[in-house]
Amino acid sequence: MAAKRPVTRQRKRAAPKSVRKRRGEGADRKDEIIAAATLLLVSEGYEGVSMRKVAAAVGISSTALYLYFEEKDELLDAVCYQVFSQIAPALDALLARDDAPIDLLREGLRAYLRFGLANPDQYRVVFLTRRPRDDWDHRAPLSHIDRWGQPRINTFMYLVEGLRRCQEAGQVRQGDLVTMAETVLAAQHGLLALLILSPQQKWSDPEVLIEENVGLILRGLAP
């Protein structure tokens, strides 16, 4: 029933908007919008997010949305980025601990799955949707500035780093770190994909699947 954007539209986002915000009000409003959209995304799912609904939720006209975001996709991007940036601190903290690397890896693997299951819609938007033009690079440095000048954090690199430490500690077999990380990521990603895209299936208990997944990966990585 929902009408989608006609065709694949060009991103006009090349030039940053540089909204001049006075007294910080701009940013607040923007955050409000993102919050409302996030809520919608979470409660109604991807297709349930429409500009009208977001506007209604915030209490402004839909037109006003376009003051902050040039188009729907930009808003969705913002929502996802905001949510995903929440996982970084956890992984950061993990990396800072001085437990055995293998234990940290295990916890990191669990954390990733838990995060995905806790934010299925965002995960879906970011990782399970084919976007016409995808400007993301999983091999980018952990922390960097993206091509639109936005600061980004690359979760994949946390995994690479975790594996590197384990390798150094002799707790993980030798081999190319990136390939290894890709394989591990895939194994995790697949579980999330199944659980998120086919939620109506009678899968085993998520907690059990998490443990099985992490277990399989760690045994598979053992030297």
Partner DNA sequence: CATGAATGAGCATTCATTCAT
Partner DNA sequence: TATGAATGAATGCTCATTCAT
CB of 158 to a second copy, least distance (A): 9
User: How many chain residues interact with DNA (CB under 7 A)?
Assistant: 37
User: Is residue 20 a contact point for DNA (CB under 7 A)?
Assistant: yes
Query: Mask: binding to DNA, 64-93, rule CB under 7 A, as x and -?
Result: xxxx---xxx--------------------
Identify the CA nearest to 92 among candidates 151, 140, 143. Answer: 143
Cα 222 from Cα 214, distance rounded (Å)? 12
Q: CB-wise, 51 or 111, nearer to DNA?
A: 51
CB of 53 to a second copy, least distance (A): 11
User: Is residue 42 a contact point for DNA (CB under 7 A)?
Assistant: no
- Select the binding partner of residue 96 from a second copy, DNA, none (C-beta < 5 to 8 A, by kind): none
8 A C-beta contact, residue 29 and residue 68: yes
Q: Which alpha helices (DSSP H) does 69-176 contain, by range?
A: 72-84, 87-96, 101-118, 120-127, 155-168
Residues 6+ positions from 189 with CB-CB distance below 8 Å: 127
User: Cβ of 51: how many Cβ atoms within 10 Å?
Assistant: 16
CB of 90 to a second copy, least distance (A): 14
Judged by CB under 7 A, which stretch of 20-28, 95-103, 171-179, 207-215 contacts DNA? Answer: 20-28
Identify the CA nearest to 156 among candidates 101, 107, 124, 112. Answer: 112
CB of 169 to a second copy, least distance (A): 19
Judged by CB under 7 A, which stretch of 49-57, 97-105, 151-159, 161-169 contacts DNA? Answer: 49-57
User: Cβ of 43: how many Cβ atoms within 10 Å?
Assistant: 10
CB of 166 to a second copy, least distance (A): 14
